[in-house]
Structure 1
Amino acid sequence: MRKLPDNLVTEQSNQKAKKQPIHESAKKHVTGEAIYIDDMSEWPNELHVATGKSTESHADIVSVNLDKVRAYPGVVDVIVQSDIPGEVDVSPVLSGDLLLAGDFVHYIGQPIFAVAATSFRAAKQAVELAEIEYKPREATLHPKESLARQEFVLPTHTIRCGDAKAAMAKAPRKIKSDIYIKGQEHFYLEGQISIATPTEDRGVVVYASSQHPAEVQKLVAKVLGVPVESVQVEVRRMGGGFGGKESQAATLGCMAAVLAVRNRRPVKYRMPRQDDMVQTGKRHDFWNSYEVGFSDEGEIISAEYDLVGKCGCTADLSDGVVDRAMFHSDNAYFLPNARISGYRGKTHTVSNTAFRGFGGPKGVILAETVVEEIACSVGKDALDIRKLNCYQEGKRQTPYGQSVDEDVLLPLIQDLEDSSNYRARREEIKAFNQQSPFLKKGLALVPVKFGISFTSKHLNQGGALVHVYTDGSVHVSHGGTEMGQGLYTKVAQIVAKTFGIDYQRVNVGATRTDKVPNASPTAASAGTDLNGMAALDAARTIKERLQEFAMEHFGIAADEFAIEDDQVILGKGDSDSQVMSFPEFVKLAYMNRVSLSSTGFYKTPKIGYDRKAAKGRPFLYYANGAAVSEVVVDTFTGEYKVTQVDILHDVGASINSEIDIGQIEGAFVQGMGWLTSEELSWDEKGRITTNSPANYKIPTSADVPEKFTVKLFDRANSEESVYRSKAVGEPPLMLGISVWCALKDACAAVCDHQISPPLAVPATPEAVFYSMQAAKEFSAGAVSNSEKSMKSL
């Protein structure tokens, strides 16, 4: 993106002094006027889809009899794999994800056939009449099994720095253990859904609830066997995505498109919640094992980590997920000697996929587990261990070779430590725990350092299209999608600020593949960074044309032209300067044949990771934050309450502080849910048993702590991001780890912090109870051993 003269760059306004625009659809969300796909008026001849699913986790299909399905009233069409006109593989990156199974199945719930009927009820009832015979095979259901059997969807990757083994051998202290970290269901409010309407020449228009319209377009074209340009995909908004609609939403668009083109009728494919929870991937489970050597003061000397992701039966996006877990297994801490290996475990379960934070949370919680255990070992407050090992002067290099140059982490931690009265509260909690046998309190301050950029370099690009109309109104199209996070609002603010006009003049339209082609997914927290920069580039191009026109038409110099507060100033600085309204000036430019439309483009600079060398710069910058969480636990039952949370988060120079704070609050609660109440479970056959809201518990308003304070760390991004802001979508989710650490702290209080007892993830009340029991047993054993020692004397 080219540099323009300084007078063309609108100065960043003081966000604290100006009232922030609310989310562009906030009122529509509240009143119900916002149109989601299932709100669209149905066509009179619209068909509805349901799929017949596998009941085996790994098996050959011996026979399929669909006669009764086809004969069911209301059924118009039934398709199997051989009916797909183009390719059957709908994988986002590699291969293996089939639109419909063929001769074998790889997980319970895998679609084998699809039904299109005049009503959803008819389609759903018809699929139950299928007669399918299987020949079961041995199934791998756990990442430990995949590691033992060396069954992986992709090769293992390892990052090294220093000499981990030699440093480990010399370390004065060591810890060695493992932790199993369960996944998480996306539980977006709007489930997976697509509508396809046929067009001429076997083309189709798809209305998708997808974070990646360009991928939906590409895969629909593949399954239809038509050029990509024959398929148009539109996304106006989603009712949540959280990564679950990055790759796996494409399947619904493909299925609807095949049936729409076959029958020359509009087709809707909406998954009911239970089908959605059975058939779509989740956050990956991870089995992490670790050995760490450290000094008597608690400074990490060496770390050897093995991270095994439960990828499911195909690769999906697991390569990037496991990479992300590896990149963030240091979290905020310097590892002078390290060996970090990531395994892509294959299991006969649904392919897991992107989830807010990608694999980052699984790496961060590993780092925090290590810190908690070191603190117990050396008898120090965990915060002191965090500060000792934190990236700082002399400790800048990450294991993968990127330098943490921005000096944010320690100042941010210290600021929150002071503002939250951490030390005083620690003493109060210590006193409380000493006199309270039945209730125990826990406290933890946890930092987060999260890299911002797609780890696949080619995805770090964005495009936009900006039109200025003769009445002064502005229309913006870009490749990003709106899923409630406020991207459209921020892009409109960026364009308005760049032009110097009122925010109300700018409208961001639905994301369409025929307006901005080949767009990257809205993911990796990069939506504003990429699409905002592209929109800014387009707006600057138009503004530059307007300046050139003004210079020629009015005979003024470049620095005598300005657009400020919705007015065009001609001859700025002169006593006889002329002022025009923006619409008036734009109309004049049009009458003089000035182009008022432009595309914009942005590609992230400086990044690049050499996978063979396992070194490089995968991220443009880091977003940072810290949270202090306080909990109280009932030692009899394991029940607990989060009583207070204080957050300080780094969003650079915020574009919209209200939206950013809302994102931080929501991400924290979602992270807290993953770590406390949201427990995914499967039976011994590989069937998910937590398949509905009745047995899968997301946080409610009652779980939000009454004392919940969120503040923004006031420092502009040192990198040239859009108006020096920072990404906000994913990093705050990991601040929820502070709740888990606080629960671990409360459990350790049962044995006066002699050990850091194991605590499962998620830390359900049952898990907390068992952790406290382990602490009690250790304490009792220590007393028993002491008594034996006294008797022997």
Structure 2
Amino acid sequence: MRSLIKVSSSSPSQTELKQGQANVGLGGVGRSKKHESADKQVAGEAIYVDDRPSLRGELHAAVGQSTQAHANIISMDLSAVKAAEGVIKVITVDDVPGHTDIGPVFPGDPVLAIGKVEYIGQPIFAVAATSYDLARKAVTLAKIEYQELESVLTVKDALAKQNFVRPPATMKRGDSDSAIAKAPHQLSGEIMVGGQEHMYLEGQVSTAEPTEDGGMNIFTSSQHPSEVQKLVAEVLDIPLNKVLVDMRRMGGGFGGKETQAAPWACIAALLANETKRPVKFKLGRMDDMVMTGKRHPFENNYTVGFDDKGQIKGINIEVNGNCGYSPDLSDAIVDRAMFHSDNAYFLDQAKVTGNRCKLNTVSHTAYRGFGGPQGMMTIEMVMDAIARHLGKDPLDIRKVNLYGEQGRDETHYHQTVEHNNLAEIISTLEESSDYQARRKAITKFNQESSILKKGIALTPVKFGISFTAQHLNQAGALVHVYTDGTIHLSHGGTEMGQGLNTKVAQIVAEEFQVDVDTVASSSARTDKVPNSSPTAASSGTDLNGKAAEAAAKIIKQRLIDFACETYQVTAEQVSFANSQVLVGEHMFSFAEFAQMAYMARVSLSSTGFYKTPKIHFDRATGKGRPFFYYATGASVSEVIIDTLTGEYKTLRTDILQDVGHSINPAIDIGQIEGAFVQGMGWLTTEELVWNEQGRLLSNNPATYKIPAINDAPEDFRVALLPDAPNREHTIYNSKAVGEPPFMLGMSVWSALKDAIASVADYKVSPALDTPATPERVLWAVEALKADGKG
């Protein structure tokens, strides 16, 4: 077994992690470095959009919201709104000079309602007033008459009515129906997988400032500044070059600000355009939760055939995404749920169908994992069900179905799983976590304990890295070297707390072999790096790191050429190390050499560009290589439940994650810990509730529970797989770390099922929809007892 690089939550002093140090210089790639904004964030000095000083004449925006889930607007009296204290301007969709639809991919998202409403909370009109409170009070004075229409509020209703935001799709290999029928064993099942509120610390906020040339400057908390630029330009009917979007940092995004930051920027811009004054639009927390989309809830089902060893011979899976009222990103999200319906397992004969169900709720959107977690849940349920049917340990069933050598290495969408280390990760973690000994101890504990029951589960993750929309897999960067040797860096990625700017700065420092503290990262700005992709799909460092590396290499080559010409040496005689430039027998500080190059009229500025190679996918045939590579990992979680109340506690979690050659182990460890806890919260405590009229009831932090520190595992152990460079040509052979660990939270859900199954002597796999709240755990226990199996 490999020795592991570990961090334990109980031993924070052990977090000085080092990996892949052989070729690491002063730049610091491969070394832990704190987040570039950490000091400012702790001191409260980090500037977010709402912290910016008010602009002269700044107004505040609010919107009037629909009170109906689905209705025609018969009449709208806004006279009281216009007459309200502090109100400067009121607009409806009729006041939009350009495009009225701001759908990010497909139409269906009006910036303000056009004749009808399709969910409770949909913006109908907008107000600009002299204060935040006056704007919010004014919008409540509207008198709107509706003609109520039939609402679709469940996935089953949408399926029955074939109510979809986009057409269904299928991926298949072989003849799954025949394989299932011929298999010695068959099982069927279904699961409801709950959605999830993003609950970013900083809510949606944008400020729009009119410019002297009829343009607009936008300061926004957005993961996709270029899309905000495009949509603001379109609603105002002005060229893109008249819109500047500036994004320094977000207080969290998690996908909720990939497309759904744009509407508020557009509305602020429309009001600013009408009033010729700056307008800030900040959503209150309850409004934010009502008016912005969530992780898609899914309702999935399967039919599987398998042999006596538990190996799957054929399987049909159907994933049904609750997309809300409009397409947003749902086509790609349900695609990714379909792509990841295999998780880590070879599905020999398989058919996966995906439905994009249209409901009269807010349009659901991107969330960490982007549909992948919802897809993986079904196959993990299958693994548990097969194990209980055959009387085996679920881990044995998972291992027998893992992707393997040639012949068992192709996905149901016909991509070969290359460089597969799943078996190694599982066996390493199985040993390091003492899984087998703990399994025996837990079985004994459950035999002797009538009320408290323990459970344990080891679940793997295989997650594809790349945007599934091919054109998004590109990035640009801009690097300046100044004459004092300091470096300015701008790239198309956005910083939302994940440490992207820190990592990309480390990459640039590594190229020049200078101290990373001499590299300053600026805001993501559309006038510096144009046409940028969203910071999403775990690709922020992969794409922007490569683009910044390319820019740095261009400047570095110019410096080498200058040295060769000036000192009559070969390129091999020029080297960069320890903030020095060695030219033959001459040595200069990096700052000295930059000054010399400037005096010789050498350009010390360059753009860089990168596009991901190898990827392609044909949706018509359901075949291709949508992912550049796979990120892999596994987790073991142990839980204890109270069978009288359903309450539970996660006692211990062990994680082993492959991040390739880590650029910054401390940041990667933090991402893994945070992703796991967020994934665990999705599957346990975070429950979205709508009433029969389509109104969101879990609309504030008092009615929606995210994990707190006491929900985290009491014993939390995280390890990075060492000596495991990415064998694809990524930036410094690293692997993405943002999304893959989120799905490690599945081990907690599976462990809860394991504890519940002990009530029936492990002979039944309990039904446990998510989130697995204490109520649902109790219901599952009671169901086993009622069946006479417990």
> TM-score normalised by the shorter chain: which range applies?
over 0.9
1:278-317 equivalences in 2 (<5 Å): 278-317=290-329
Q: Which residue of 2 aligns with 1:564?
A: 577
User: 1:11 Cα shift?
Assistant: 4.2
Q: Which residue of 2 aligns with 1:235?
A: 247
2:726 to 709, 712, 717: 717
Please say if 1:765 is aligned against 2:778.
Answer: no
Please say if 1:597 is aligned against 2:597.
Answer: no
Q: Which residue of 2 aligns with 1:789?
A: none
- Find the aligned partners of 1:32 and 1:436 in 2 and give their Cα distance: 49
Q: Which residue of 1 aligns with 2:117?
A: 105
User: 1:392 Cα shift?
Assistant: 1.1
- Find the aligned partners of 2:425 and 2:180 in 1 and give their Cα distance: 31
Q: Which residue of 2 aligns with 1:706?
A: 714
1:52-201 equivalences in 2 (<5 Å): 52-201=64-213
Q: Which residue of 2 aligns with 1:486?
A: 499
User: 1:14 Cα shift?
Assistant: 11
Structure 2 counterpart SS, 1:268: strand
User: 1:368 Cα shift?
Assistant: 0.5
Please say if 1:514 is aligned against 2:527.
Answer: yes
- Find the aligned partners of 1:128 and 1:425 in 2 and give their Cα distance: 59
User: 1:777 Cα shift?
Assistant: 2.1
Is the CA contact 2:389–2:764 (under 8 Å) kept in the aligned structure 1? yes
- Find the aligned partners of 1:171 and 1:709 in 2 and give their Cα distance: 40
Structure 1 counterpart SS, 2:228: helix
2:37 to 3, 17, 25: 25
1:252-267 equivalences in 2 (<5 Å): 252-267=264-279
1:92-491 equivalences in 2 (<5 Å): 92-394=104-406, 395-491=408-504
User: 1:702 Cα shift?
Assistant: 1.1
Is the CA contact 1:12–1:723 (under 8 Å) kept in the aligned structure 2? no
Q: Which amino acid aligns with 1:437?
A: S
User: 1:408 Cα shift?
Assistant: 1.0
The sequence identity of aligned pairs, in percent, is: 58
1:584 to 592, 596, 602: 592
User: 1:275 Cα shift?
Assistant: 0.3
**TM-score where L is the length of structure 2:** 0.96
- Find the aligned partners of 2:266 and 2:475 in 1 and give their Cα distance: 25
Structure 1 counterpart SS, 2:547: helix
- Find the aligned partners of 2:421 and 2:361 in 1 and give their Cα distance: 41
Please say if 1:727 is aligned against 2:753.
Answer: no
Judged with a 3 Å threshold, the aligned counterparts in structure 2 of structure 1 residues 652 and 341 are, in CA distance, closer, same or farther, namely same
Q: Which residue of 2 aligns with 1:7?
A: none
Q: Which amino acid aligns with 1:679?
A: E
- Find the aligned partners of 1:144 and 1:237 in 2 and give their Cα distance: 40
Q: Which amino acid aligns with 2:756?
A: C
Is the CA contact 1:532–1:722 (under 8 Å) kept in the aligned structure 2? yes
Task: Describe the superposition over 1:75-117 as per-residue Cα deviations: whole angstroms up to 9, x where unpaired.
Answer: 1110011011111111111101011002110000000011110
Is the CA contact 1:15–1:657 (under 8 Å) kept in the aligned structure 2? no
User: 1:501 Cα shift?
Assistant: 1.2
Please say if 1:668 is aligned against 2:676.
Answer: yes
Is the CA contact 1:234–1:512 (under 8 Å) kept in the aligned structure 2? yes
Q: Which residue of 2 aligns with 1:606?
A: 614
Structure 1 counterpart SS, 2:274: helix
Task: Describe the superposition over 1:312-366 as per-residue Cα deviations: whole angstroms up to 9, x where unpaired.
Answer: 1110000000000000000000000000000000111111000000000001111
- Find the aligned partners of 1:476 and 1:170 in 2 and give their Cα distance: 60
Structure 2 counterpart SS, 1:128: helix
1:627-666 equivalences in 2 (<5 Å): 627-666=635-674
Is the CA contact 1:639–1:765 (under 8 Å) kept in the aligned structure 2? yes
- Find the aligned partners of 1:190 and 1:318 in 2 and give their Cα distance: 24
Task: Describe the superposition over 1:489-511 as per-residue Cα deviations: whole angstroms up to 9, x where unpaired.
Answer: 00000000011111111111100
Q: Which runs of 5+ in 1 are unaligned?
A: 1-9, 572-576, 782-793
User: 1:779 Cα shift?
Assistant: 3.4
Structure 2 counterpart SS, 1:737: helix
- Find the aligned partners of 2:338 and 2:31 in 1 and give their Cα distance: 41
Q: Which amino acid aligns with 1:518?
A: N
Please say if 1:505 is aligned against 2:518.
Answer: yes
Q: Which residue of 2 aligns with 1:785?
A: none
- Find the aligned partners of 1:13 and 1:41 in 2 and give their Cα distance: 41
Structure 2 counterpart SS, 1:248: coil
**Relative contact order: is structure 1 or structure 2 higher (C-alpha 8 Å, sep ≥ 6)?**
2
Task: Describe the superposition over 1:188-208 as per-residue Cα deviations: whole angstroms up to 9, x where unpaired.
Answer: 000000001000232000001
1:744-783 equivalences in 2 (<5 Å): 744-780=753-789
Q: Which amino acid aligns with 2:176?
A: A
Structure 1 counterpart SS, 2:206: strand
Is the CA contact 2:218–2:243 (under 8 Å) kept in the aligned structure 1? yes
Judged with a 3 Å threshold, the aligned counterparts in structure 2 of structure 1 residues 80 and 759 are, in CA distance, closer, same or farther, namely same
User: 1:780 Cα shift?
Assistant: 4.5
User: 1:262 Cα shift?
Assistant: 1.0
Structure 2 counterpart SS, 1:302: strand
- Find the aligned partners of 2:194 and 2:100 in 1 and give their Cα distance: 31
Structure 2 counterpart SS, 1:177: strand
- Matched pairs, number: 767
User: 1:45 Cα shift?
Assistant: 1.3
Which 4+ residue blocks in structure 1 deviate beyond 3 angstroms? 10-19
User: 1:13 Cα shift?
Assistant: 5.3
User: 1:407 Cα shift?
Assistant: 2.6
Structure 2 counterpart SS, 1:462: strand
User: 1:246 Cα shift?
Assistant: 0.1
Q: Which runs of 5+ in 2 are unaligned?
A: 1-21
Is the CA contact 2:26–2:578 (under 8 Å) kept in the aligned structure 1? no
1:525 to 535, 538, 546: 538
Structure 2 counterpart SS, 1:750: helix
Is the CA contact 1:78–1:113 (under 8 Å) kept in the aligned structure 2? yes
Is the CA contact 1:396–1:403 (under 8 Å) kept in the aligned structure 2? yes
Please say if 1:36 is aligned against 2:48.
Answer: yes
Q: Which amino acid aligns with 1:610?
A: D
Structure 2 counterpart SS, 1:96: coil
**TM-score where L is the length of structure 1:** 0.96
Q: Which amino acid aligns with 2:611?
A: K
Please say if 1:738 is aligned against 2:751.
Answer: no
| Aligned residues: CA RMSD | 1.2
Q: Which amino acid aligns with 2:190?
A: D
- Find the aligned partners of 1:218 and 1:205 in 2 and give their Cα distance: 12
- Find the aligned partners of 2:313 and 2:729 in 1 and give their Cα distance: 34
Q: Which amino acid aligns with 2:719?
A: K
User: 1:16 Cα shift?
Assistant: 10
Q: Which amino acid aligns with 1:554?
A: Y
